[in-house]
Amino acid sequence: MPERGLLIVLSGPSGVGKGTVRKAIFESPDNDFEYSVSMTTRQKRPGEVEGVDYYYRTREEFEALIAEGKMLEYAEYVGNYYGTPLDYVNQTLDEGKDVFLEIEVQGAKKVKEQVPDGVFIFLTPPDLTELKSRIVGRGTDQLDVIEKRMEIAKKEIEMMTLYDYAVVNDSVPLAVEKIKQIIKSEHLRVDRVIDSYLKMLKEL
Ligand SMILES: Nc1nc2c(ncn2[C@@H]2O[C@H](COP(=O)(O)OP(=O)(O)O)[C@@H](O)[C@H]2O)c(=O)[nH]1
Ligand SMILES: Nc1ncnc2c1ncn2[C@@H]1O[C@H](COP(=O)(O)OP(=O)(O)O)[C@@H](O)[C@H]1O
Protein backbone atom coordinates (compact mmCIF):
# COMPACT_ATOMS: atom_id res chain seq x y z
CA MET A 1 0.00 0.00 0.00
CA PRO A 2 1.39 3.48 -0.83
CA GLU A 3 2.30 5.83 2.00
CA ARG A 4 -0.78 7.86 2.90
CA GLY A 5 -0.91 11.33 1.32
CA LEU A 6 -0.86 14.59 3.23
CA LEU A 7 -4.03 16.47 4.05
CA ILE A 8 -3.38 20.14 3.35
CA VAL A 9 -5.82 22.69 4.73
CA LEU A 10 -5.74 26.26 3.43
CA SER A 11 -7.92 28.59 5.45
CA GLY A 12 -8.16 32.20 6.53
CA PRO A 13 -10.68 35.03 6.61
CA SER A 14 -13.20 35.47 3.85
CA GLY A 15 -11.93 37.73 1.10
CA VAL A 16 -8.24 37.17 1.91
CA GLY A 17 -7.77 35.39 -1.41
CA LYS A 18 -8.06 31.68 -0.54
CA GLY A 19 -10.00 30.88 -3.70
CA THR A 20 -7.63 32.94 -5.86
CA VAL A 21 -4.49 31.36 -4.38
CA ARG A 22 -5.97 27.86 -4.57
CA LYS A 23 -6.89 28.34 -8.25
CA ALA A 24 -3.38 29.62 -8.98
CA ILE A 25 -1.89 26.52 -7.32
CA PHE A 26 -4.11 24.20 -9.36
CA GLU A 27 -3.36 26.05 -12.59
CA SER A 28 0.39 25.68 -12.18
CA PRO A 29 1.81 22.99 -14.46
CA ASP A 30 3.83 21.30 -11.69
CA ASN A 31 0.88 20.98 -9.31
CA ASP A 32 0.48 17.53 -7.83
CA PHE A 33 -2.22 18.09 -5.20
CA GLU A 34 -5.75 16.73 -5.54
CA TYR A 35 -8.44 19.31 -4.88
CA SER A 36 -11.38 18.25 -2.74
CA VAL A 37 -14.46 19.91 -4.29
CA SER A 38 -16.71 21.15 -1.48
CA MET A 39 -20.45 20.86 -1.19
CA THR A 40 -22.61 23.93 -0.57
CA THR A 41 -26.22 25.05 -0.29
CA ARG A 42 -25.41 28.51 -1.63
CA GLN A 43 -26.61 29.64 -5.06
CA LYS A 44 -24.38 28.89 -8.01
CA ARG A 45 -22.70 32.12 -9.21
CA PRO A 46 -22.51 32.91 -12.94
CA GLY A 47 -19.69 30.93 -14.52
CA GLU A 48 -19.51 28.34 -11.74
CA VAL A 49 -19.82 24.67 -12.65
CA GLU A 50 -21.35 21.77 -10.66
CA GLY A 51 -18.63 19.37 -9.53
CA VAL A 52 -15.84 21.81 -10.41
CA ASP A 53 -16.42 24.82 -8.14
CA TYR A 54 -18.79 23.09 -5.74
CA TYR A 55 -21.40 20.36 -5.55
CA TYR A 56 -24.60 22.39 -5.21
CA ARG A 57 -27.21 20.76 -2.98
CA THR A 58 -30.43 21.74 -1.18
CA ARG A 59 -30.43 22.14 2.60
CA GLU A 60 -32.42 18.90 2.88
CA GLU A 61 -29.91 16.96 0.80
CA PHE A 62 -26.99 18.45 2.74
CA GLU A 63 -28.56 17.68 6.11
CA ALA A 64 -29.22 14.10 5.03
CA LEU A 65 -25.50 13.66 4.18
CA ILE A 66 -24.51 15.12 7.57
CA ALA A 67 -26.86 12.65 9.28
CA GLU A 68 -25.31 9.75 7.34
CA GLY A 69 -21.81 10.80 8.49
CA LYS A 70 -20.72 11.55 4.93
CA MET A 71 -19.02 14.89 5.68
CA LEU A 72 -15.48 15.22 7.06
CA GLU A 73 -16.54 18.66 8.31
CA TYR A 74 -19.13 21.27 7.54
CA ALA A 75 -19.90 24.79 8.66
CA GLU A 76 -22.67 27.28 8.30
CA TYR A 77 -21.37 30.47 6.77
CA VAL A 78 -23.49 33.58 5.97
CA GLY A 79 -26.65 31.44 6.01
CA ASN A 80 -25.42 28.51 3.92
CA TYR A 81 -23.84 25.16 4.56
CA TYR A 82 -20.37 24.39 3.21
CA GLY A 83 -18.69 21.04 3.73
CA THR A 84 -16.08 18.51 2.68
CA PRO A 85 -17.32 15.11 1.45
CA LEU A 86 -15.49 12.45 3.47
CA ASP A 87 -15.18 9.54 1.02
CA TYR A 88 -13.20 11.43 -1.62
CA VAL A 89 -10.69 12.64 0.97
CA ASN A 90 -10.13 9.19 2.48
CA GLN A 91 -9.88 7.37 -0.84
CA THR A 92 -7.44 9.90 -2.29
CA LEU A 93 -5.20 9.96 0.80
CA ASP A 94 -5.18 6.13 0.75
CA GLU A 95 -3.92 6.27 -2.84
CA GLY A 96 -0.91 8.17 -1.49
CA LYS A 97 -1.95 11.51 -2.99
CA ASP A 98 -1.95 14.86 -1.19
CA VAL A 99 -5.44 16.29 -0.78
CA PHE A 100 -5.96 20.05 -0.68
CA LEU A 101 -8.89 21.64 1.15
CA GLU A 102 -9.73 25.32 0.89
CA ILE A 103 -12.22 25.98 3.68
CA GLU A 104 -13.26 28.61 6.22
CA VAL A 105 -11.92 28.56 9.77
CA GLN A 106 -14.73 26.78 11.67
CA GLY A 107 -14.39 23.83 9.30
CA ALA A 108 -10.59 23.91 9.52
CA LYS A 109 -10.87 23.67 13.32
CA LYS A 110 -13.01 20.54 12.99
CA VAL A 111 -10.56 18.98 10.52
CA LYS A 112 -7.70 19.70 12.95
CA GLU A 113 -9.56 17.76 15.67
CA GLN A 114 -10.01 14.76 13.39
CA VAL A 115 -6.79 14.83 11.37
CA PRO A 116 -4.19 16.43 13.65
CA ASP A 117 -1.32 15.40 11.38
CA GLY A 118 -2.68 17.47 8.50
CA VAL A 119 -0.82 20.60 7.42
CA PHE A 120 -2.75 23.70 8.45
CA ILE A 121 -1.94 26.91 6.57
CA PHE A 122 -3.50 30.24 7.46
CA LEU A 123 -3.63 32.84 4.69
CA THR A 124 -3.51 36.36 6.14
CA PRO A 125 -4.29 39.71 4.55
CA PRO A 126 -1.55 42.37 4.52
CA ASP A 127 -4.00 44.41 6.73
CA LEU A 128 -7.74 44.79 7.43
CA THR A 129 -8.22 47.76 5.09
CA GLU A 130 -6.84 45.69 2.24
CA LEU A 131 -9.10 42.81 3.27
CA LYS A 132 -12.20 45.01 3.06
CA SER A 133 -11.24 46.41 -0.31
CA ARG A 134 -10.75 42.88 -1.64
CA ILE A 135 -14.24 41.86 -0.49
CA VAL A 136 -15.77 45.04 -1.96
CA GLY A 137 -13.68 44.74 -5.13
CA ARG A 138 -14.83 41.19 -5.76
CA GLY A 139 -18.33 42.59 -6.23
CA THR A 140 -20.19 39.40 -5.29
CA ASP A 141 -21.74 40.68 -2.05
CA GLN A 142 -24.35 43.24 -0.97
CA LEU A 143 -23.25 45.84 1.61
CA ASP A 144 -24.89 44.03 4.57
CA VAL A 145 -23.11 40.78 3.66
CA ILE A 146 -19.78 42.66 3.35
CA GLU A 147 -20.20 44.03 6.89
CA LYS A 148 -21.02 40.52 8.15
CA ARG A 149 -17.97 39.09 6.42
CA MET A 150 -15.72 41.78 8.01
CA GLU A 151 -17.06 41.00 11.50
CA ILE A 152 -16.48 37.30 10.92
CA ALA A 153 -12.99 38.04 9.52
CA LYS A 154 -11.84 39.76 12.74
CA LYS A 155 -12.82 36.71 14.80
CA GLU A 156 -11.29 34.40 12.20
CA ILE A 157 -7.88 36.10 12.43
CA GLU A 158 -7.83 35.35 16.18
CA MET A 159 -7.98 31.65 15.32
CA MET A 160 -4.57 31.71 13.65
CA THR A 161 -2.97 30.05 16.70
CA LEU A 162 -4.47 26.71 15.66
CA TYR A 163 -2.38 26.64 12.49
CA ASP A 164 1.08 25.39 11.62
CA TYR A 165 1.97 28.11 9.10
CA ALA A 166 0.94 31.71 8.31
CA VAL A 167 1.30 32.95 4.75
CA VAL A 168 0.65 36.61 3.89
CA ASN A 169 -1.26 36.98 0.66
CA ASP A 170 0.43 40.15 -0.52
CA SER A 171 1.09 38.79 -3.99
CA VAL A 172 -0.61 35.65 -5.36
CA PRO A 173 2.49 34.11 -7.03
CA LEU A 174 4.54 34.63 -3.85
CA ALA A 175 1.85 33.07 -1.65
CA VAL A 176 1.62 30.11 -4.07
CA GLU A 177 5.41 29.58 -3.91
CA LYS A 178 5.42 29.73 -0.11
CA ILE A 179 2.64 27.14 0.10
CA LYS A 180 4.45 24.80 -2.29
CA GLN A 181 7.65 25.15 -0.24
CA ILE A 182 5.78 24.38 2.98
CA ILE A 183 4.39 21.16 1.52
CA LYS A 184 7.77 20.12 0.14
CA SER A 185 9.30 20.57 3.62
CA GLU A 186 6.43 18.70 5.28
CA HIS A 187 7.17 15.68 3.12
CA LEU A 188 10.74 15.66 4.43
CA ARG A 189 9.83 15.75 8.13
CA VAL A 190 11.46 12.87 9.98
CA ASP A 191 8.21 11.83 11.67
CA ARG A 192 6.67 11.39 8.22
CA VAL A 193 9.50 9.42 6.64
CA ILE A 194 10.74 7.42 9.64
CA ASP A 195 8.54 4.37 8.96
CA SER A 196 9.99 3.77 5.52
CA TYR A 197 13.55 4.07 6.89
CA LEU A 198 12.80 1.65 9.73
CA LYS A 199 11.38 -0.79 7.21
CA MET A 200 14.51 -0.46 5.08
CA LEU A 201 16.74 -1.16 8.11
CA LYS A 202 14.73 -4.25 8.99
CA GLU A 203 15.19 -5.58 5.46
CA LEU A 204 18.98 -5.19 5.58
N1 LIG B 1 -15.99 24.71 6.25
C2 LIG B 1 -15.97 24.78 4.93
N3 LIG B 1 -15.83 25.97 4.33
C4 LIG B 1 -15.78 26.01 2.98
C5 LIG B 1 -15.87 24.85 2.20
N6 LIG B 1 -15.81 25.20 0.90
C7 LIG B 1 -15.66 26.53 0.87
N8 LIG B 1 -15.64 27.04 2.13
C9 LIG B 1 -15.48 28.43 2.55
O10 LIG B 1 -16.73 29.05 2.58
C11 LIG B 1 -16.53 30.47 2.46
C12 LIG B 1 -17.52 31.06 1.49
O13 LIG B 1 -17.30 30.54 0.20
P14 LIG B 1 -17.94 31.22 -1.08
O15 LIG B 1 -19.39 31.46 -0.86
O16 LIG B 1 -17.53 30.42 -2.28
O17 LIG B 1 -17.30 32.61 -1.09
P18 LIG B 1 -15.85 33.14 -1.28
O19 LIG B 1 -14.85 31.99 -1.23
O20 LIG B 1 -15.71 34.06 -0.12
O21 LIG B 1 -15.91 33.73 -2.63
C22 LIG B 1 -15.08 30.66 2.01
O23 LIG B 1 -14.35 31.11 3.15
C24 LIG B 1 -14.65 29.27 1.61
O25 LIG B 1 -13.27 29.05 1.83
C26 LIG B 1 -16.01 23.60 2.88
O27 LIG B 1 -16.08 22.52 2.31
N28 LIG B 1 -16.05 23.63 4.23
N1 LIG C 1 -2.72 38.93 -3.51
C2 LIG C 1 -3.79 39.63 -3.89
N3 LIG C 1 -3.69 40.94 -4.16
C4 LIG C 1 -4.77 41.66 -4.52
N5 LIG C 1 -6.02 41.17 -4.64
C6 LIG C 1 -6.20 39.86 -4.37
C7 LIG C 1 -5.10 39.03 -3.99
N8 LIG C 1 -5.58 37.77 -3.78
C9 LIG C 1 -6.91 37.83 -4.03
N10 LIG C 1 -7.29 39.08 -4.39
C11 LIG C 1 -8.64 39.55 -4.72
O12 LIG C 1 -9.38 39.59 -3.48
C13 LIG C 1 -10.74 39.21 -3.69
C14 LIG C 1 -11.10 38.06 -2.74
O15 LIG C 1 -10.42 36.88 -3.15
P16 LIG C 1 -11.07 35.43 -3.00
O17 LIG C 1 -10.09 34.48 -3.60
O18 LIG C 1 -12.47 35.42 -3.49
O19 LIG C 1 -11.07 35.30 -1.38
P20 LIG C 1 -11.61 34.13 -0.40
O21 LIG C 1 -11.72 32.87 -1.21
O22 LIG C 1 -10.59 34.05 0.69
O23 LIG C 1 -12.93 34.60 0.12
C24 LIG C 1 -10.87 38.86 -5.18
O25 LIG C 1 -11.41 39.97 -5.88
C26 LIG C 1 -9.43 38.60 -5.61
O27 LIG C 1 -9.23 38.88 -6.97
Domain boundaries, the chain: 7-36+98-203
b or e along 31-64 (b: 16 or more beta carbons within 10 Å of the residue's beta carbon)? eebbbbebbbbeeeeeeeeeeebbbbbeeeebee
Atom of ligand 2 nearest to the CA of 20: 17
pLDDT by residue, tens only, the chain of 204 residues: 678 999 999 999 988 999 999 999 999 999 999 999 999 999 999 999 999 999 999 999 999 999 999 999 999 988 999 999 999 999 999 999 999 999 999 999 999 999 999 999 999 999 989 999 988 888 878 888 889 888 888 888 889 999 999 999 999 999 999 999 999 999 999 988 888 889 899 998
Q: Ligand 1 pocket: which of 9, 72, 104 to mutate (most atoms <8 Å of CB)?
A: 104
* Å from CA of 153 to ligand 1 middle: 13
SS3 breakdown of the chain: % helix, strand, coil, rounded to 5?
A: 50, 20, 30
What local confidence, expressed as pLDDT, does residue 50 receive? 98
Q: Which residues pair with 11 in a beta bridge?
A: 122
Closest ligand, as measured to the CA of 170: 2
- Is residue 18 marked as binding? yes
Query: DSSP assignment, residue 13?
Result: S
Query: DSSP assignment, residue 25?
Result: H
* Å from CA of 103 to ligand 1 middle: 5
- Is the C-beta atom of 107 inside 6 A of ligand 2? no
- Is residue 15 marked as binding? yes
ipTM of the complex: 0.96
* Å from CA of 126 to ligand 1 middle: 20
Which residues 6+ apart lie within 8 Å of 33 measured at CB? 8, 25, 26, 97, 98, 99, 100, 183
Among protein residues, the one with the nearest Cα to ligand 1's atom 22 is 104
Among protein residues, the one with the nearest Cα to ligand 1's atom 1 is 107
Among protein residues, the one with the nearest Cα to ligand 2's atom 24 is 138
CATH number (3.30.428.10, 3.40.50.300, 3.90.870.10, 1.10.3720.10) of 7-36+98-203 reads 3.40.50.300
Query: DSSP assignment, residue 52?
Result: T
**Cα separation of 178 and 175, whole Å?**
5
